[in-house]
Structure 1
Amino acid sequence: MRTIKYIAVHCTATAQTATVSSIQNYWKNQLKWKMPGYHFIIKPDGEVVKLLSVDKVSNGVKGFNSETINIAYIGGIDKNGKPLDNRTGAQKASLLNLLELFKTRHPNAIIQGHRDFPKVAKACPSFDAKKEYENL
C-alpha cells in the first residue's frame, strides 16, 4: 500500500464536451504515458470514472505521484482556453464525495489543487481547492 500524503484536485483543461477516451488517447499517443494522468475523472453529469486503482501511481503531479491520489473534473477552461471554474453542480457533488472518502481513508493527506504544488505554473484546477476543502 502506498503512503498517501496528498489528494490532488485537477481539471482536464478541456472543453466540458471532451470524452474520457479522448483524454486517455492524448496521454497515450501525444504524451506517451503508460499510466493515466488521474485515478478518477468526473464527467459533467457527475459520473465518476475510475481510470486506475489508487494503489498504483498515476501521472498527475510531476515529482509527487508516488504519494498522491489524483482526481480531475472534465472542464476547467473557457472557449478561449483561459482558466474557468465551470464545474457543474453534479461534478462538485461527486468531487466532494470522493474527497470525503479518501480523506477518511488517509486522514493526514493534504487536499490541494495541482497549482498548489511547488514549481507548478498552471491554474489547474481553476479554483482554490485548498480553501474550498480546508474543512474536510
Structure 2
Amino acid sequence: MRKIDLIVLHCSATRTDRCYTEYDLITDHLRRGGSGAGYHYYIRKDGSIKSLRPVDKSGAHARGYNAHSIGVCYEGGLDTNGHSCDTRTTF
C-alpha cells in the first residue's frame, strides 16, 4: 500500500443547475488523454459518493502530489451564470 498523507479536494467546475455525472467526468478525462478518472472519489450533488479509482493507485489530479494523496472531486463549483461559487452542501 502506498503512503497517503494528503486529501486534495476539487470541484468539477460545472454549473449548479446542470448535472455532471461520474460518466461525464470519466469521459472528459479520457478525452484529455487520461486512462480514466484522475480522482479517487466523486461526490454528486445528491450526496452520493462514487468510487472512481482504487485508493492503492496514484491519482492524476494534483501534479507533484498524486503519489501520496487521495483525490476527491465534488459536482459543481459554479453558479447558474458560470461564476465561481461554493456549491457544497452540509450533508
Q: TM-score range by the shorter chain?
A: 0.7 to 0.9
Q: Secondary structure at the match of 2:73?
A: strand
Give the letter aligned to residue 5 of structure 2: K
CA contact (8 A) 1:35 1:58 kept: no
Q: 2 CA distance for matches of 1:54 and 1:35?
A: 14
Give the letter aligned to residue 57 of structure 2: K
Equivalent positions of 1:1-136 (< 5 A) are 1-16=1-16, 17-29=19-31, 31-90=32-91
Q: 2 CA distance for matches of 1:32 and 1:71?
A: 20
Following superposition, the deviation at residue 24 of structure 1 comes to 0.8
Following superposition, the deviation at residue 81 of structure 1 comes to 2.6
The structure carrying a bigger helix percent of its residues is 1
Give the letter aligned to residue 26 of structure 2: Q
Following superposition, the deviation at residue 87 of structure 1 comes to 1.2
Runs of 4+ in 1 over 3 A off after TM superposition: none
Q: 2 CA distance for matches of 1:56 and 1:36?
A: 12
Higher relative contact order (CA 8 A, sep 6+): 2
Q: 2 CA distance for matches of 1:14 and 1:58?
A: 21
TM-score when normalising by structure 1: 0.61
Gaps of 5+ in 1: 91-136
Q: 2 CA distance for matches of 1:82 and 1:62?
A: 25
TM-score when normalising by structure 2: 0.88
CA contact (8 A) 1:35 1:59 kept: no
Q: 1 CA distance for matches of 2:63 and 2:82?
A: 22
| Percent identity between the two aligned chains | 35
The structure carrying a bigger strand percent of its residues is 2
